[in-house]
Chains A and B, each alone.
Chain A
Amino acid sequence: MSVARRSLIWVPYLWLLLLFLVPFGIIFKISLSDIALAIPPYTPTLDLSEGRAGVTAFLSQLDWENYIFLTEDDLYWKAYLSSLQIAVISTFFALLVGYPIAYGMARAAPEWRPMLMMLVILQFWTSFLIRVYAWIGILSSEGYLNQFLLWTGIIADPLQIMNTSTAVYIGIVYTYLPFMILPIYASLERMDDSLLEAAEDLGCSRMSAFWLVTIPLSRSGIIAGCFLVFIPAIGEFVIPSLLGGSGTLMIGKVLWEEFFSNRDWPVASAVAIVLLLILVIPIILFQRNQQKEQEADA
């Protein structure tokens, strides 16, 4: 093996080992430590100067206490459950809103499609923070939505949407919508239209042809889109902290506050490890779906 090829492999490999894998080892270690009034604020720290005795003393002080704490305090499992619930509901609404858009794009005249595609991508490339921020002005009690509804006379008193879970759902659907639209559009676009004609020739109505042909053929796009919304929504921090109120519990926000406000690093690390374990299942399912699709293409 040449030196050039070896360095081609080892440079990115080492980078990821040091800055991706090793940090996880550190998180795991700290999640087994205890909080302390020190810098860094946890104990024990490894003291290599004492040789083997130091290592044994270090290992003997590690325990699962923080994980037990997570199961004992209501806050954490409620936050995990409510993150899952918010992610599921927002994924469902993103699908409900995203599918008709993707479907319309795939049905539009070919010369329009690049333009429509660009409009979706443009929204996606606009700063995430700004897209969330835009909704604060709309949803607040004297915001544009309430002004409009009061003006039309639909409501008599302003609605309280800001600082509720509804605002978080809207925020997640809005910011992650391109992730839903693009894979569904990709699968609808390469669909063979003669299949629909065949279905109709064989006596299907347009509606049943849609349910029996179009939906099953766009299945891999739907699955990919749902995971692309669901996975990041679980660990979301920005949306619940800007749009949600104190009543909206999400685990990303709990982790942030545990770290920055309570300065309890060991508990924050344990929260992170459990979140990872929860995410492993959807991530594996997502990978399988992608692999199946690649094999179908090949």
Chain B
Amino acid sequence: MRRFSWFNATSLALGFAFLYIPMIILITYSFNESRLVTVWAGFSTKWYGELMRDESFLDAAWVTLRVAVVSSTIATVLGTMAAYVLVRGGRFFGRTLFSGMIYAPLVMPEVITGLSLLLLFISIGLDRGIFTIILAHTTFSMCFVSVVVSSRLVSFDRSLEEAALDLGCTPFDAFRSVTLPLIAPAVISGWLLAFTLSLDDLVIASFTAGPSATTLPIKIFSSVRLGVSPEINALSTILIALVTIGVISASLASKHRITQQKRDERLAEQAA
């Protein structure tokens, strides 16, 4: 029996107001006519137009998107391999070090990760640019992917894989036709997490980007330092809208999958 009290209702209302009012203000004022961001002067979409005409924002957005797609894809492959090895790999030389290196980047301050990678790139003479940002983002986001995927690998029944092997599958076939479909939701959410982390990252990108490549967060940060601007409000609104669409469709998809799974289970029970 769960009792939902007035205290609960009030704390939820105040809590979600705290979480969302700043963003609602941001979105509202992106439609403000005036350049003075704190004074409302009527509805207008002109800042969106200004934003679209600003080449430097579009360039930065394009760089960010390319970095995010490439780094999150490599990170998903590497992170899934790492998770599989850690959960199913048994014992091997240096396993403790390996799992330490998977968990450490999760709690490492970004300034340290950024600084250390930059010093590496400089000492091996690698020119900084899009390529080095991709290397940096892949490194820290593969660890997040690996944690997400290994929590899924731990929770499912190993005997399914063993059955496939007993029935004559090669280990690779067993992985492809049994393990991979079972962990697919975790692999997809790992990719999404890696993608978002890469889109969002300012600190590590600033260290590893060098002068030739500018990502969207770097661009936003340098203009935000000068104060609030209506173009940035418009850009923020677009980004918030994209994330909202993403999160809502992901949760609808998972709801759909759960209902389908329940229906399958019911049908299986009826058949039995």
The reply to whether A122 and B232 form a contact with Cβ atoms under 8 Å apart is no
Surface stretch bound by B, among A48-56, A68-76, A141-149, A217-225: A141-149
User: Could you show 9 A-B contacts with beta carbons less than 8 Å apart?
Assistant: A15-B142, A20-B105, A26-B119, A101-B16, A104-B4, A106-B2, A118-B248, A127-B239, A129-B220
The reply to whether A13 and B94 form a contact with Cβ atoms under 8 Å apart is yes
Contact of B227 among A4, A136, A174 (CB under 8 A): A136
The reply to whether B98 and A279 form a contact with Cβ atoms under 8 Å apart is no
Closest to B116 in A: A23
What is the interface size of chain A, counting residues whose CB is below 8 A from a CB of the partner?
84
CA distance A118 to B19 in the complex (A): 12
Q: Encode contact with A along B129-148: 1 for CB under 8 Å, 0 otherwise.
A: 00000011011001000100
Surface stretch bound by A, among B47-55, B178-186, B198-206: B198-206
The reply to whether A143 and B38 form a contact with Cβ atoms under 8 Å apart is yes
Known contacts: A16-B98, A122-B244. The answer to whether A142 contacts B38 by CB under 8 A is: yes
Q: Encode contact with A along B1-20: 1 for CB under 8 Å, 0 otherwise.
A: 11111011101100110111
List A contacts of B105 (CB < 8 A): 20
The reply to whether A16 and B2 form a contact with Cβ atoms under 8 Å apart is no
The reply to whether B22 and A129 form a contact with Cβ atoms under 8 Å apart is no
- Per the 8 Å Cβ criterion, residues 103-147 of A in contact with B are 103-109, 114, 116, 118-123, 125-131, 133-138, 140, 142-144, 147
The reply to whether A119 and B228 form a contact with Cβ atoms under 8 Å apart is no
CA distance A252 to B248 in the complex (A): 34
The reply to whether B172 and A133 form a contact with Cβ atoms under 8 Å apart is no
Q: What's the nearest-Cβ distance from chain B to residue A219, in Å?
A: 20
The reply to whether A275 and B120 form a contact with Cβ atoms under 8 Å apart is no
List A contacts of B18 (CB < 8 A): 97, 174, 177
The reply to whether B171 and A4 form a contact with Cβ atoms under 8 Å apart is yes
List A contacts of B255 (CB < 8 A): 114
CA distance A160 to B142 in the complex (A): 42
B224 contacts chain A at the CB level, 8 A cutoff: yes
Q: What's the nearest-Cβ distance from chain A to residue B196, in Å?
A: 6
List A contacts of B58 (CB < 8 A): none
Chain A residues at the B interface, C-beta cutoff of 8 Å = 2, 4-5, 8-9, 11-13, 15-17, 19-24, 26-27, 30, 40, 97, 100-101, 103-109, 114, 116, 118-123, 125-131, 133-138, 140, 142-144, 147, 174, 177, 193, 197, 231-232, 234-238, 241-242, 252, 255-256, 259, 265, 268-269, 272, 275-276, 279, 283, 286-287
Closest to B258 in A: A114
B65 contacts chain A at the CB level, 8 A cutoff: no
Closest to A272 in B: B112
The reply to whether A9 and B2 form a contact with Cβ atoms under 8 Å apart is no
The reply to whether A127 and B117 form a contact with Cβ atoms under 8 Å apart is no
CA distance A235 to B246 in the complex (A): 30
List B contacts of A9 (CB < 8 A): 85, 89, 92, 98
Which 6 A-B pairs rank lowest in CB-CB distance, beginning with the nearest? A235-B109, A23-B116, A100-B11, A101-B15, A134-B22, A104-B12
Q: What's the nearest-Cβ distance from chain B to residue A163, in Å?
A: 12
Known contacts: A125-B247, A272-B115. The answer to whether A8 contacts B11 by CB under 8 A is: no
